[in-house]
Amino acid sequence: MKKVLVSGAGGFIGGHLVRRLKSEGYWVRGVDIKRHEFAVTAADEFIVGDLRETDVVRGIVEGISEVYQLAADMGGAGYIFSGEHDAAVMHNSATINLNMLEWGRQAGVRKFFYSSSACMYPEYNQLDPGNPNCSEESAYPAAPDSEYGWEKLFSERLYMAYMRNHGVQVRIARFHNIFGPEGTWCGGREKAPAATCRKVAEADDGGLIELWGDGKQTRSFLYIDECVDGVRRLMESDFTGPVNIGSDEMVTINQLAQMIAKVAGKRITIQHIPGPLGVRGRNSDNRLIREKLQWAPSRPLAEGLEKQYRWVEAQVKNAVAGLAAQ
C-alpha cells in the first residue's frame, strides 16, 4: 500500500484531503502543529509536530513515497494584509517548505504536491474588478501584494529547483479561495465565505452585517470537494504545473453576501467599513487546467454556499449554546 504524508492535516484542506486519500486506499500519515479542530482525523497515524523543526521533519518523512505539503502560516485578509504577521508568515512557511523538501528527498520521497496560492499573482493585473488576469504565465514580472504571496512564489521556485537538481517529481497548484465545512470560521484567520456566513448566521432577519471595503471587489470561490478532486487529478497526471485550481464563477463580495443571505432565508443590509482588502479583482483562469487535465471545476457557487452556511450556522448555534450553559 502506498504510504503518503499530508502536512497541514490538522487544517481545512488537509483534513478533507486525508479523508479522500483514505477512501482511495492509501495509508496516510498526517502531521500538523495542532489537532484538527472540527473533525476526527481519518489518518492512519497523526503526528502533532512543528514542521519548522528539523528533527520533527526528519522523523515524519521516513517510509513515505509521496508528500502533500499544505502546512503554512496562513489566514484570510484580516491576517495576511494587516502587515502585523509578515515576518512570521515568510519565516514559518518558507522554513516548512525548505525542511520538507530537503529531508523528504534525503529520505527517498519521490513526489511532492505543493499548495501555492493565487495570492502570488501580480497586483498590477488585478486592479480592474471586471477583468482580472490570473493566467499562469502572467506571474512574471512578479509583484504580489502580500508577503504571503511572495513566500508562495519563492516556494514554487524552490520546488521546481529541487525537481531540476534532485530529480524529485513535483506538482504545484495555485489555489483560488477554497471554502467549505470544517475550516476556520472565527478568531481572525477566517476567510470571506466563512466570515460572511458567520455574520449572516448571527444577524436577525432584516439585520445589518459589516463588510470590509465597498464590496465591489471581485473573487471566485471553489468548494472544497472540487479542490480535492483537482489536487488528486493533478497528482496523477504527468503535468507539473503551476496550475490554477479555482472556480471561474466571479462574484463581487456584495453578491457573495446576498447569496449567503438567500441561503439563510434572511434579508440583510450591508454596512461597508474600512478593513484589509487585497487585490481589487481576482478570478481563476481555467484554460490551462482544462488543456492539461481535461477537467476544470464546474459546480455552481450557490451549491457550495448552501453547505458552507449550514455548517457555520451549526457552529454559531453550538457556540451560543455553550455560552448559555456557562
Contact residues for ligand NAD, defined by CB under 6 A: 8, 10-14, 32-34, 50-52, 70-74, 92, 96, 115, 117, 175, 177-178, 183-184, 191
Residue 148 a catalytic site member: yes
Pick between residue 117 and residue 146 the one whose CB is nearest to ligand NAD. Answer: 117
CB distance 171 to 111 below 8 Å: yes
The answer to whether 78 touches 139, Cβ cutoff 8 Å, is no
Peptide bond into 297 cis (omega under 30): no
Instruction: Spot the catalytic one: 26, 68, 148, 162.
Output: 148
Eight-class DSSP state of 285: -
β-sheet bridge partners, residue 66: 4, 111
DSSP reduced 3-state for 207: strand
Tell me how long the chain is.
326
Q: How far is the CB of 118 from ligand NAD (least distance, A)?
A: 6
Q: How far is the CB of 11 from ligand NAD (least distance, A)?
A: 2
**How many C-beta atoms lie closer than 10 Å to residue 50's C-beta?**
17
Q: Are 18 and 40 in contact (CB under 8 A)?
A: no
Nearer to ligand NAD, 92 or 125 (CB): 92
Q: Which three cell numbers stand for residue 4?
A: 503518503
The residue among 15 and 268 lying less far from ligand NAD, judged by its C-beta, is: 15
Closer to ligand NAD at the Cβ: 115 or 308?
A: 115
Q: Give the gyration radius of the chain's Cα atoms.
A: 19
Cβ nearer to ligand NAD, comparing 203 with 221:
221
Comparing CA positions, the residue from 154, 146, 18 lying closest to residue 97 is 154
Place of cell 512557511: 93
Q: Is 256 helix (H, G, I), strand (E, B) or coil?
A: helix
Q: How far is the CB of 193 from ligand NAD (least distance, A)?
A: 9
Q: Considering the complex, what minimum distance in angstroms separates the CB of residue 134 from ligand NAD?
A: 12
Least Cβ distance, residue 157 to ligand NAD (angstroms): 16
Q: How far is residue 2's CA from residue 43's CA, in Å, rounded to a whole number?
A: 13
- Contact yes or no for 72/96 (Cβ under 8 A): yes
Nearer to ligand NAD, 75 or 129 (CB): 75
* H helix intervals, the chain: 12-23, 54-60, 77-80, 86-107, 147-166, 192-202, 224-236, 253-264, 287-293, 301-325
User: Smallest gap, in angstroms, from Cβ of residue 116 to ligand NAD?
Assistant: 7
**120 or 259: whose CB is closer to ligand NAD?**
120
The residue at minimum Cβ distance from ligand NAD is 11
- Joined together, the cell numbers standing for residue 250 give 466571479
Whole-number minimum distance, CB 219 to ligand NAD, in Å?
10
Cis omega (within 30 of 0) for bond into 242: yes
Q: Which residues are catalytic?
A: 148
